Amino acid sequence: MLDEPEDERWREYRVTPRYLAGSGGFGDPGFEPVAHWPHHSLDDDTFCQLLITSPDGRIRLGWFGDDYEPFKVSASQDAVGPARWTASFNQNFPPEITAGFTSALARGWEPDGEHFLARPSIYWADSVTPLLDAGWERLRASEPGTVELRSPDRQAGAWIDTHTYGRHDETVVLWAGPEGYLTRAEATFTTDTPSHLIAATAAALNEPTPLVRERHMIHRDVEHLVQLEPVTARAQPRTGAPTPLDAKHAAVTAALHRAAHEQPGARRAHAARIRTPHVRQQPSTTPDAAPARAAVPARSAARPRR
């Protein structure tokens, strides 16, 4: 990839399987299902770059930009209560797959309703039914009390802890790609995350529809694992006419921008673009925890061994 022509770097491809497409450095599609929800203005030095909440404030979606897990979601019994559950999507997780989660979340919200707070099923399979239905293999677990699934191509999996833990412990992890900070995509869900929300994410993870990425967005350690189909016959440099991917991003950004301006004091509406540099900070250089003003809880220190 390093010696390829410059125009090839910016050419768009349809990437299959979608779970190896990476994030592309943007999070717009993940926010699209809730673009009509209230946007909140934060101080310029707040670690959370974009905050969207349900109309009653019980659901909070935050974009933390250069954080290891830039997209975080939490839900509470009331707007000022502690989080009942938290879902986090790391910097390599495709936002189009995250949208499966946020779409189900938006559909399940209603005034005075609690579908998004439903207790998870006592059966672990209910959280990953779409994967089991698609023929994902159950492996011999590496740890007692855990379940591990693997995709037919062996490049994605699910890790489920069936033990009873504290509310903020991670009990389900969906992952894809080779191990490594720049290649492994992960979505983590804490103990009380409703099973139907995890299942919606699993369904989006396993969809056959490819995702569009520019050539340079595919990491060299992943490119041999994916199929690339050119979107156009000729490359379209970034400095030229907008590409179809650019047009899609612009439409989502415009929707977020309009929604933000409907809220009072939306000084940070420009943050709806939520693009981050392709070179990100390593986990060791990120702050240990988000500032107190951030409405989405920090990531649990405990990580499963896979």
Range with lowest mean pLDDT among 36-45, 111-120, 146-155, 203-212: 36-45
CA distances 217 to 9, 64, 88, Å, are 8, 20, 22
pLDDT value at residue 204: 98
Q: Which of 47-61, 172-186, 236-250 has the lowest mean pLDDT?
A: 236-250
* Measured CA distances, 54 to 48, 57, 108 (Å): 17, 5, 11
Instruction: Determine the pLDDT at residue 41.
Output: 76
Residue ranges covered by each domain of the chain: 15-208+249-285
Confidence of residue 254 (pLDDT cuts 50, 70, 90): low
- Per-residue pLDDT, 72: 96
What pLDDT, in 10s, does the model give residues 88-133? 999 999 999 999 999 999 999 999 899 999 999 999 999 999 999 9
Give yes or no for residue 13 having a pLDDT over 90.
Answer: yes
What are the CA-CA distances from residue 102 to residues 30, 106, 189, 197 (Å)?
7, 6, 13, 8
| In contact, 206 and 134? CB cutoff 8 Å | yes
Give me the residue label for tokens 């400095």. Answer: 239
CB 200 within 8 A of CB 232: no
Mean pLDDT rounded to a whole number for the chain:
80
Q: Is the pLDDT of residue 52 over 90?
A: yes
Least confident segment among 139-148, 181-190, 225-234: 225-234
pLDDT reading at 260 higher than 60: no
Alpha-carbon span 191 to 193, nearest angstrom:
6
Per DSSP, which regions of the chain are E strands?
A: 12-16, 39-40, 50-53, 59-63, 71-76, 83-89, 137-139, 146-150, 156-161, 170-176, 185-190, 211-214, 227-230
CA-based torsion, 180, 21, 87, 26: positive or negative: positive
Q: Which residues contact 199 (CB under 8 A, 6 or more apart)?
A: 126, 127, 128, 129, 130
Instruction: Give 74's strand partners.
Output: 60, 86
Average pLDDT over residues 55-65: 94
Least confident of 138-147, 156-165, 235-244: 235-244
Which residue type, as a one-letter code, is found at position 128? V
CA 215 to each of CA 16, 60, 151: distance values in angstroms, whole numbers, following the listed order:
13, 33, 25
- For residue 5, what pLDDT band results from cuts at 50, 70 and 90? low
Percent of the chain beyond pLDDT 90?
60
Annotate 276-288 with b (16+ C-beta within 10 A) or e (fewer): beeebeeeeebee
pLDDT for 66 equals 72
Residue ranges in 192-241 assigned as alpha helix (H): 195-206
pLDDT at 3: 54
Amino acid in the structure at residue 214 = E
* pLDDT tens by residue, 266-300: 333 333 333 333 333 333 323 333 333 334 344 33
pLDDT band at residue 222 using 50, 70 and 90 as cut-offs = very high
At 230, is the secondary structure helix, strand, or coil? strand
Residue labelled with tokens 């809880």:
297
d(CA 235, CA 144): 51
